């Protein structure tokens, strides 16, 4: 269903960018979650290799943004016409998100974004909350992405660009298989042994160290799994609601990359990953599926929802449930205190 069936787990983002260079040159691209040792940086470098017009990098830490911008300028000095802009964005803070969208609108001078890469995510081992009191993994990975994307749509930063269609790409994970949405307790405030509806319960049994909980019953792998299911359901709803509006939406599993396991990840959990993953990707390989989802002209007309190793694949059934997707959208609106009716955009 993609235009290059030969692309696979060992394909690099740089290679994909070279093949689809015409889809990048002169375009305006926004990437969240930028860190020098993460796939946000490798994604930015891959796009930068083919001279976009404007590359907007958004992340929490100014020094990390500047480091990646310096990498781009050093590696591609001949692409000096590419404008690089840096935006402070903390997806755990709804205030920060609203400020960032205002700044992005100013930077683009109300012109359209051609590609939005929702790459930012966290995975924590201890219970933490956002400034609004949400469990931080769900609040950042889903609610933050939900609000950020919808505000960009509301400001008309994505709708109705010239062809080819704009793309909204949200990086999910195979970890979504660990948990559906726990609508009855999305903050995971209850001890995991408390009964929840069967359709909301996490995978049983969890593999090895994935079952580890803190003393207060918090399991970071399960909350991460819920947030990654949310990314897929969010994209599914976007696809249906934006059909025919000049915007495509896809989500994906980038593969397992050592530096993406989380700087503070439990060593036993890291070891569990090493037991179950046969192939570990480089950062450049890790961004390749994102690049295919964002650039392949074969995906201009919606074909599938979720990509793995540069090809269309199927997520777990709980991540394809249209009823759950609509229910999550409404819950997300309640949480941010704002309704987003895509038909009105």
Q: What is the pLDDT of residues 126-154, one digit of tens each?
A: 999 999 999 999 999 999 999 999 999 99
Q: What is the mean pLDDT of residues 76-90?
A: 94
Residue 191 has pLDDT above 70, yes or no: no
CA gap 132, 152 in Å, rounded: 21
pLDDT at 277: 76
Structure tokens at 319: 């991540």
Instruction: Round to whole Å and give the CA distance between 299 and 2.
Output: 7
SS3 for 57? strand
The pLDDT score that the predictor gives to residue 39 is: 97
**Buried b vs exposed e over 104-120: b needs ≥16 C-beta within 10 Å?**
bbebbeeebbbbbbbbb
| pLDDT at position 263 over 80 | no
Q: Mean pLDDT throughout 157-163?
A: 67
pLDDT at position 270 is: 73
Percent of the chain at pLDDT > 90 equals 77
pLDDT for the residue numbered 156: 77
Instruction: Using pLDDT thresholds of 50, 70 and 90, give the confidence band for residue 209.
Output: confident
The rounded mean pLDDT for the chain is: 92
Is residue 171 predicted with pLDDT exceeding 80? yes
Residues 166-194 have a mean pLDDT of 90
CA dihedral (280, 282, 285, 289) in degrees, to 10, reads 60
Q: Is the dihedral of CA 76, 78, 79, 83 positive or negative?
A: positive
Q: Which of 127-141, 213-227, 247-261 has the lowest mean pLDDT?
A: 247-261
The verdict on whether omega for the bond into residue 287 sits within 30 degrees of 0, i.e. cis, is: no
The sheet with strand 28-32 has its strands ordered as 83-88, 54-59, 28-32, 115-118, 166-171, 247-253, 306-308, 311-313
Instruction: State the pLDDT confidence band at 245, using cuts at 50, 70 and 90.
Output: confident
Over 80: is that where the pLDDT of 71 sits? Answer: yes
Q: What is the pTM of this model?
A: 0.96
Q: What average pLDDT does this structure show over 172-186?
A: 96
At 343, is the pLDDT very low, low, confident or very high (cuts 50, 70, 90)?
A: confident
Contacts (Cβ under 8 Å, ≥6 apart) of 75: 45, 48, 49
Residue 220, pLDDT > 80, answer yes
pLDDT of residue 268: 78
């Amino acid at each position: 269903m993609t235009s290059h069936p030969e692309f696979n787990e060992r394909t690099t983002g740089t290679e994909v960018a070279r093949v689809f260079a015409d889809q990048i040159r002169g375009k305006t691209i926004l990437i969240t979650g930028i860190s020098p040792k993460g796939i946000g940086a490798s994604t930015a470098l891959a796009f930068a290799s083919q001279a976009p017009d404007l590359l907007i990098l958004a992340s929490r830490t100014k020094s990390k943004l500047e480091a990646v911008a310096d990498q781009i300028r050093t590696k591609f000095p001949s692409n000096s016409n590419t404008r690089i802009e840096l935006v402070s964005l903390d997806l755990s803070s709804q205030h920060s998100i609203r400020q960032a969208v205002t700044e992005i609108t100013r930077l683009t001078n109300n012109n359209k974004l051609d590609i939005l890469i929702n790459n930012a995510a966290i995975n924590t081992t201890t219970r933490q909350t956002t400034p609004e009191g949400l469990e931080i993994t769900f609040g950042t990975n889903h609610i933050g992405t939900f609000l950020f994307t919808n505000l960009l749509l509301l400001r008309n930063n994505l709708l109705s660009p010239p062809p080819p269609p704009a793309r909204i790409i949200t990086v999910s994970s195979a970890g979504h298989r660990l948990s559906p949405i726990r609508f009855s307790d999305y903050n995971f405030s209850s001890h995991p042994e408390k009964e929840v509806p069967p359709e909301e319960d996490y995978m049983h049994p969890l593999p090895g160290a994935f079952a580890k909980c803190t003393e207060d019953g918090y399991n970071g792998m399960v909350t991460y799994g819920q947030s990654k299911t949310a990314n897929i359901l969010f994209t599914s709803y976007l696809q249906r609601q934006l059909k025919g509006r000049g915007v495509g939406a896809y989500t994906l599993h980038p593969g397992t990359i050592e530096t993406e396991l989380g700087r503070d990840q439990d060593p036993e959990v890291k070891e569990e990953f090493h037991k179950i993953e046969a192939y570990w990707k480089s950062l450049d390989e890790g961004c390749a599926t994102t690049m295919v989802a964002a650039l392949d002209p074969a995906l201009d007309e919606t074909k599938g929802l979720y990509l793995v190793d540069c090809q269309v694949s199927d997520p777990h059934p709980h991540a394809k449930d249209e009823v759950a997707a609509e229910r999550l959208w409404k819950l997300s609106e309640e949480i941010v205190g704002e309704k987003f009716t895509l038909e009105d955009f």
